[in-house]
Structure 1
Amino acid sequence: MTPQAKAEALGITFSKQAPGYLAMVVRTGNLLITSGHVSDIKGKLGADLSVEQGKEAARECAVKILNSVWNFHGSLDGLRVLKLLGCVNSTLEFDQQHLVVNGCSDLLHEIFGKDGDGYHARSALGFAQIPTGSAVEVEAIFEIKE
């Protein structure tokens, strides 16, 4: 099954986006670089959100990223996930950012394959605040396979 078909089988829907103030995706060479995509889930890990809620927020970011990539590229097929930067709105004491960002990585592994095109490099960092109070923000880099 192709990545596009896998995403659709998981219930992910794709919808057209109107251009905004900034580009959600830009292309340079054979790379697609996304802007940061924030979760609809609000809150701070280590204060009012659990790791499981944070993972769901990171998954939301992945779905939004996929929709933006689909809008730009027309499909999820023919892509390889290269890199993620996961930013977690967390207290100074919270040290499980990597587990939170797994919510994004897990979905990309499921769609693109954990041992194939979904196997990616990643950073997971804690931030004192994220725009709009979102729990998680993620940006990604994809390669267009030739």
Structure 2
Amino acid sequence: MKTTTQTTVAEGKPEQRLKELGIELPAAPRPFGTYAEAVQTGNLVFVSGMLPTEGRQAKFVGRIGAELNLDAGRQAARLAALNGLAVVKEHIGSLDKVTRIVRLGVMIATTGDVPDQPKVADGASDLLQSVFGAEKNPCRLVYGVASLPLGTPVEVELIFEVVG
């Protein structure tokens, strides 16, 4: 039995779902270097690594297990995913054109002894599932790294399938 929320998401209305959740996408971030934020080839849109930034500033700085805890990491992953959604929306015009989230990659800066990296990545995964529905969950790769741009704890990359 589907709930109203699951039905709305299953009907392919992520723009409406964002409104229902009270989520307003931020302005799409601009590159911090020489690269494109999104590239489309055929029906696939590749979104460059998204950081947990607001404007041109990192909102979260530090490593999980040192300066930041798991909850802060989850929040950082969620914000990075929101930035990714803003980029893909700017690129294709509407999130309603997304037919599938193909892949989610989450890099997490840790002290090296943090076994709960998947829990941090769930900050991004949970957001995507709440907007697009479980049937569009992507495959996911999560891995720890020594450092990330701007000293952020998380970087998220996304690949979307979209209506041509």
Cα shift at 1:49: 1.1
Partner in structure 1 of residue 43 of structure 2: 30
CA distance in 2, matches of 1:5, 1:61: 21
5 Å-filtered alignment, 1:94-105, equals: 94-105=114-125
TM-superposed deviation, 1:94: 1.2
* Residue among 1, 9, 19 paired with 2:20: 9
Let me know the Cα RMSD of the aligned residues. 1.6
Max Rg structure: 2
CA contact (8 A) 1:12 1:63 kept: no
- What is the distance in 2 between the residues matched to 1:99 and 1:84? 14
TM-score using structure 1 length? 0.91
Residue from 116, 128, 131 that aligns with 2:149: 131
Query: Which shows bigger deviation, 37-46 or 53-62?
Result: 37-46
Q: Say whether the 8 Å CA contact 1:14–1:70 is kept in structure 2.
A: no
CA shift, 1:16, in A, is 5.4
Q: Distance in 1 between matches of 2:29 and 2:156?
A: 20
Unaligned runs of 5+ in 2: 1-7, 53-58
- Structure 2 CA distance, aligned partners of 1:88 and 1:121? 17
Q: Report the alpha carbon displacement of residue 41 of structure 1 after superposing the two structures with TM.
A: 1.1
Instruction: Report the Cα distance in structure 2 between the residues aligned to 1:19 and 1:104, rounded to whole angstroms.
Output: 20
Q: TM-score, normalized by length of structure 2?
A: 0.82
Report the Cα distance in structure 1 between the residues aligned to 2:66 and 2:78, rounded to whole angstroms: 20
Q: Give 1:76 deviation, angstroms.
A: 0.5
The runs of 5 or more residues in structure 1 that have no matched partner are none
Question: Relative to 1, partners in 2 of residues 1:16 and 1:91: Cα closer, same or farther, differing over 3 Å?
Answer: closer
**Offset of 1:78 from its aligned partner?**
2.5
Say yes or no: does 1:56 pair with 2:69: no
